[in-house]
Amino acid sequence: MARLDDIDPHMRQDLIELECPRFESQPWVEGAPLAERRVAIISTAGLQRRGDRPFAWDAGDYRIILGDSAGDELVMSHISTNFDRSAFQQDMNVAFPIDRLNELATEGTIGSVARFHYSFMGATAPQEMEAATRHLAGLMKDDDVDAVLLLPI
């Protein structure tokens, strides 16, 4: 369905014409085997804890999600009405797979799961999220994270 041909014509045209940032370099960080990695999630689904500040139009800031208490308090304040939310409403793991990640850690497929995870609101241009993203890199290193799973919506 996320094939362009399957998306309605109005949105498809916007997606085709969307200006994407160009990067001069191609950074590549190597690391330990997967079984030793500590993994954090960054979502652009506009996820937040219930009661936290909803994302605003063109928001470049982020919200913190506690991995061990996401279940009953995770809601979505993304501004777009064009993508499906019904699956997320039934099972947050379809967009924020914290239960699956914890299972992989328990069985030893990955090393561990970060304590903190983060969400942006992906209707914002990436450049507007750059400063906050670089700031998050430091926070995640403090949490011993060495692998980041990026999930769009």
Partner 1 sequence: MSGLGHYLEQEGLATTQISLIRLHTEKIKPPRALWVPFELGRPLGAANDAVFQRRVLLAVLGLLEAEHGPVLVDYPEEAPAAEASDMEGWVCPIKLAPPPKPESPDGQLAEAMADEMARLQPWFDLAVETRGRSSLGLSGVELETARAFLLSFLGAEPAQNPLPALKPAEALRLVYDDLKAFYVDAATAQPGKASGREMQEWLWGETSFGKILFALRAKLLAAEDKDLRLAGKWFLVPSSQWDRAP
| Binding to partner 1, residues 113-132 (CB under 8 A) | 120, 122, 126-127, 129-130
Q: Is 141 exposed, middle or buried (0-12, 13-18, 19+ CB in 10 A)?
A: exposed
CA–CA separation, 134 and 132 (whole Å): 6
Residue 152 binds partner 1 (CB under 8 A): yes
CA–CA separation, 107 and 125 (whole Å): 37
CA–CA separation, 6 and 65 (whole Å): 32
Residue 68 binds partner 1 (CB under 8 A): no
121: nearest Cα among 133, 129, 113 = 129
Looking at 47, 95, 114, 121, which residue binds partner 1 (CB under 8 A)? 95
Looking at 47, 65, 101, 113, which residue binds partner 1 (CB under 8 A)? 101
123's CB contacts (< 8 A; 6+ apart) are 46, 57, 58, 78, 79, 80
Q: How far is the CB of 28 from partner 1 (least distance, A)?
A: 5
Looking at 69, 73, 106, 108, which residue binds partner 1 (CB under 8 A)? 73
Q: Which two tokens stand for residue 40?
A: 């954090």
Residues from 9 through 38 that contact partner 1 (CB under 8 A): 10-11, 14-16, 18, 20-23, 25-31, 33-34, 37
Looking at 67, 85, 102, 116, which residue binds partner 1 (CB under 8 A)? 85
Residue 142 binds partner 1 (CB under 8 A): no
Q: How far is the CB of 121 from partner 1 (least distance, A)?
A: 12
Q: How far is the CB of 68 from partner 1 (least distance, A)?
A: 15
